Structure formats: C-alpha cells, structure tokens
C-alpha cells in the first residue's frame, strides 16, 4: 500500500497506517494533485472511538451525484451469524452509489415480508495514491436481525428508497437463510482459506453450495485486495475494488449460507486503521463477543447445535509476519482459554472446532508452521482436547496425524478415527480455495494415491527466523484446489457423537476422510 520495503520490514501495522496518513496529508495531496482536497481530510470507515471522525461525509469524499434509487441494484449479499446463531443473523450487502433509507424485509414466505428493519450504511473511501483503485467509494449496508425463531427458514429482501424487494417484479431478488436449531441435530459445515478472485474460487463455491452447509468458515486471506500481505512496496498493487468483485462473486453462496471469516495477513489493510482492520469492519458484521473488538474484530465464537466454533486472529501471535504481533497484549490467549474451558464444561457442547489463518502444523515449502501458534495456543488445544483445528495460509491441503506434545500421539490413516478425549488434536490446512498453489517437499499422499513416508523435512517460523525441523506427523498431502466438509452427527447422552471430516477436491473427488469421536454429554 505504498510503504517502502525497508521501512515496512521494521514497521508495525499501526506504524504503517500512520506513515500512509502522514504521507497522504492535505499538503502532499494539494502539491501532488493526486486526490481531491476533501478526500484526504478523513478517508475511511474505522470503527471505535478514535475513528468516528474518519467516517467519510460530504466533505471527506467526492460528492455523489443524485441517482434514482429505482436504477440502483444491491449486490454482494453476505450473511453472518450473531452471537446466538439460533436467533441472530446479520444480512450485509453493497450498493454501487449512495442510496436513501436502505432497509431489509423479512418474513416466513415470499408473500409475507411485512417486517422491515432499517439498515446501517458504512462508507469506505480510498483516495488516489493508496494503491491502484484511486478515489473509490464503497457503500456497505448491514441489517442486524434478532429474536428470530430457531431452526426456521426465513425469506428476506434488501432495498432502499426506490427499490422495494417486495415489488412483484423484484421478487426474484429475494434470498433465504436458516437459523441454527434449538436442539442437537445433524448438520454439515464447510471450510477453506486463501480464496481471492478467480475461476478456482468460483468453482469451489459452486461445489460447496452443493454440500448444503449450515455455515461456512473462511480461514483468512479472503479477497487479496492487498496482494503482498505485509505492507511492502508491492502493496502499491492494493486495489479496494477487488472487494467489489469478491463479494459479487461469492453472493451465490453467501446470500444463503452464513459466511464466517477469520482474518489473515492479506486482510490487514494499513490505510484504513492502525490495526489494519478498518476496511474489514466496514465490510463484515461478525459476532461481537470477542475479547478486544477495537484491535481484534475477527475474534469471536458461536455454538451451532452441539458444536462450538472459535475464530482466532493469528496475526496477533505471528513471528513470520509480525505487523500486528502482540496487538492484544495477551488478552486473546486469555480469552481463548476461558472460551475453551466454558465450552468443555457446557452440557450442550460436545465438539469444539477452532479456525484461524496461520498454520500450527504444515510442511509447505512456502510458510510451513507458525511457532507463535505452537507456543501460545497449541498447549490450550491439548489441555481442553479441541476436536479439530482448521487453518489456511499455505495454499494446499494437508492433514496431520493425532498430535500431542508436538509429536505423533497416534497415526491417523485415511479413513481412521481419532478420540481427542484421550489421544490428542488433529490439524487440517485447507488453504487451497483459489489462489496459486504452493508446494510440498515430500511426495503427495491422498485418498486413492497414498504414499506414506516416515519423515518430512520442513521448518517452523520462530522469533528471529526459520528453524528447520524433521516431522513425522504429515499424513495427507494434496496439491490442488479443494475445501473441507464436516458432517456433525450428535448422539444421545453417553453414546458416541461424530465429526466426519472430508477433503473435497475442486473436481468433486474425495481426497481425504477421517472421523473424530467423542462421548455425548
């Protein structure tokens, strides 16, 4: 995003934000003529007390021409659960220009959309000189829904003055979503990371929609509007318009399936806020039950049926890419332990799934493993017997054996069964959603093409650099586009509940499967 490489290597995300704000000051813009005067007096949506004045107004962004609302179609609809998926949902969308009085209609069927909810507009302005997009204004709209009925399918439509989705000629724009059930019932969810905008991401989206998931987990590096992911010189390729493309393309899935992201290194965009997440907070409305919404808005948890899901922000503990290293001051790890302890003690929760971006265990020749995760979080995963950990960051599919104490506690072949209560934790890297693929140093080994090896040469990112290691836990390695499907089957108290985990290739072929078993409470 324009920070010189030697500087960016030494600067935190907050320092990069301050550098850009200073560089693109009023004086600089007047002299260089790179952007209108009004655009540099604010320039971004940044939530929180320090950012209210930065929300663009008529004086901080180029004035929008009056447009008849009847000629403006909403796009990029995407859903997200609230803190209680049984009763809370947020519907978010975009409009290409400013509109008046945006709203959402909701009802039990298309002919009854009488309930109307006022929507909130979050305007994000990116001035010329900040990457490639140049004086681009984005209008993100959000409507929070509460007091919904559990386990019900709801019809909804989004609109504004001049565009009413209940009008007969606009009924085709309606969408649906289903709230989480009030009781334990079978369901499916999907997951991947590192998507971007391109054919392979589109192909994966089409395929995962066919799995009929209750929700989808995105393990970070969402759209890649920031191509370098670390604030280097190549960030001049930053293009905020990539988000317009991404949300328009994923709408076919995200309009009906809650799209629950964790934030990766490419999701930190230094222009918008000191923590890099100001742009993300304009685009998403996620559960606000995390430990530090000001610094870590992508950290939250929710419970669907018998399964608790925890989203973490590994940028906070990453030695490899330290732009936000230590931003939470340790509060995220303390919160994580409290969440795991609470969920493990809950009579309603059988399984705990944790997802985040940087890999705990991976043998990719690109990023491999993150030592900060192993140091801060892996001991907690083992202490509270987490059932499944899902990561992205490395653009491939890799699955470990059962791990405990940084060693193989039990080999887990394809089709095998893990018992986390007594054995250890299984980690899956599902970072092949759409971006260019990485590589392995060891031979590929996947369903129908198994090639077991005793050890794999790899490395872990530690404080001060890379540390070589030879590991025995790499069980499945697949190098093509793919995603994760997880089928959750509850059971009566005292009987065995299961997570059936499958790696699904873009072709539709199954490249891995295993089962996690736990005695139901």
Going by their DSSP bridges, the two strands 351-355 and 407-410 should be labelled as: unpaired
The two three-digit tokens of residue 33, written as one number = 């003529």
Q: How far is CA 115 from CA 86, 155, 343, in A?
A: 19, 11, 35
pLDDT number for residue 136? 92
In which residue ranges of the chain is pLDDT below 50?
Answer: 26-43, 46-60, 231-234
Give the tens place of pLDDT for each residue, 190-209: 999 999 999 999 999 999 99
Residue 502 and residue 510 in contact, taking contact as beta carbons nearer than 8 Å: yes
138's enclosing H/E stretch is strand 136-145
Give the angle 14-217-437 at the CA atoms, nearest 5°: 80
Q: Residue 59 CB: number of other CB atoms within 10 A?
A: 11
Q: Residue 175 CB: number of other CB atoms within 10 A?
A: 18
Residue 221 and residue 393 in contact, taking contact as beta carbons nearer than 8 Å: yes
CA-nearest of 514, 341, 311 to 419 is 514
C-alpha 140/C-alpha 74 separation (Å) is: 10
Give the tens place of pLDDT for each residue, 108-129: 999 889 899 999 999 999 988 8
CA-nearest of 158, 413, 140, 82 to 283 is 140
C-alpha 134/C-alpha 239 separation (Å) is: 8
Residue 283 and residue 236 in contact, taking contact as beta carbons nearer than 8 Å: no
Where exactly are the structural domains of the chain?
Answer: 5-54, 188-220+298-519
Q: Residue 364 CB: number of other CB atoms within 10 A?
A: 24
3-state class (DSSP) for residue 45: coil
Residue 310 and residue 301 in contact, taking contact as beta carbons nearer than 8 Å: yes
Q: Residue 162 CB: number of other CB atoms within 10 A?
A: 14
505's enclosing H/E stretch is strand 496-505
Residue 234: which residues within 8 A CB-CB, separation 6 or more?
Answer: 227, 228
Q: Residue 9 CB: number of other CB atoms within 10 A?
A: 12
C-alpha 274/C-alpha 295 separation (Å) is: 9
pLDDT number for residue 3? 65
Q: How far is CA 113 from CA 75, 95, 118, 240, in A?
A: 19, 21, 14, 34
3-state class (DSSP) for residue 192: strand
CA-nearest of 327, 344, 410, 440 to 383 is 344
Place of tokens 């370098």: 228
CA-nearest of 443, 399, 454, 425 to 518 is 425
Q: At what angle do helices 241-254 and 199-209 cross, to 10 degrees?
A: 20
pLDDT number for residue 130? 85
The two three-digit tokens of residue 505, written as one number = 């290739």
Q: Please tell me the class of the 188-220+298-519 domain.
A: alpha beta
């Amino acid at each position: 995003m324009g920070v010189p490489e030697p500087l960016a290597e030494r600067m935190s995300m907050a320092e990069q934000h301050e550098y850009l704000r200073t560089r693109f000051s009023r004086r600089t813009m007047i002299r260089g003529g790179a952007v209108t005067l009004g655009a540099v007096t604010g320039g971004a949506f940044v939530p929180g007390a320090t950012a209210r004045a930065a929300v663009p107004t008529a004086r901080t962004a180029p004035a929008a021409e009056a447009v008849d609302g009847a000629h403006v179609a909403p796009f990029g609809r995407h859903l997200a659960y609230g803190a209680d998926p049984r009763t809370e949902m947020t519907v978010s969308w975009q409009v290409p220009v400013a509109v008046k009085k945006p709203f959402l209609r909701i009802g039990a069927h298309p002919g009854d959309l009488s309930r109307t909810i006022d929507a909130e507009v979050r305007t994000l302005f990116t001035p010329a000189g900040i990457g490639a997009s140049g004086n681009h204004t984005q209008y993100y709209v959000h409507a929070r829904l509460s007091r919904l009925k559990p386990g019900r399918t709801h019809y909804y439509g989004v609109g504004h003055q001049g565009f009413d989705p209940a009008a007969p000629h606009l009924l085709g724009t309606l969408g649906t979503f289903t709230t989480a059930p009030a009781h334990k019932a079978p369901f499916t969810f999907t997951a991947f990371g590192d998507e971007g905008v391109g054919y392979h991401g589109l192909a994966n989206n089409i395929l995962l929609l066919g799995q009929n998931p209750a929700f989808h987990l995105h393990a970070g590096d969402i759209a890649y509007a920031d191509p370098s992911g670390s604030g280097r010189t190549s960030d001049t390729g930053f293009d905020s318009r990539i988000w317009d493309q991404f949300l328009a393309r994923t709408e076919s899935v995200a309009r009906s399936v809650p799209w629950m992201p964790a934030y990766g290194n490419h999701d930190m965009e230094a222009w918008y806020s000191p923590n890099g997440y100001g742009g993300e907070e304009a685009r998403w409305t996620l559960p606000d039950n995390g430990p530090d919404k000001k610094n870590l808005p992508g950290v939250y948890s929710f419970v669907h049926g018998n399964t608790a899901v925890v989203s973490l922000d590994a940028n906070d503990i990453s030695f490899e890419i330290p732009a936000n290293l230590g931003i939470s001051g340790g509060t995220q790890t303390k919160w994580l332990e409290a969440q795991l302890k609470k969920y493990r003690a809950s009579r309603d929760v059988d399984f705990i799934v944790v997802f985040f971006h940087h890999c705990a265990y991976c043998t990719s020749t690109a990023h491999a493993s993150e030592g900060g995760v192993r140091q801060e979080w892996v001991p907690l995963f083992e202490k509270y017997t987490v059932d499944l950990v899902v990561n992205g960051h490395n653009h491939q599919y890799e699955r470990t054996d059962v791990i405990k104490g940084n060693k193989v506690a039990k080999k887990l072949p394809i089709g095998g069964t893990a018992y986390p209560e007594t054995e250890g934790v299984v980690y899956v890297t599902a970072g092949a959603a759409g971006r260019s693929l990485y590589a392995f140093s060891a031979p590929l080994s996947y369903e129908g093409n198994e090639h077991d090896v005793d050890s794999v040469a790899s490395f872990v990112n530690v404080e001060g650099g890379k540390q070589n290691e030879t590991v025995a836990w790499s069980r499945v390695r697949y190098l093509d586009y793919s995603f994760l499907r997880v089928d959750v089957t509850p059971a009566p108290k005292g009987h065995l509940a299961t997570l059936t985990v499958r790696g699904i290739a873009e072709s539709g072929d199954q490249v891995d499967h295993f089962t996690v078993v736990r005695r139901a409470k």
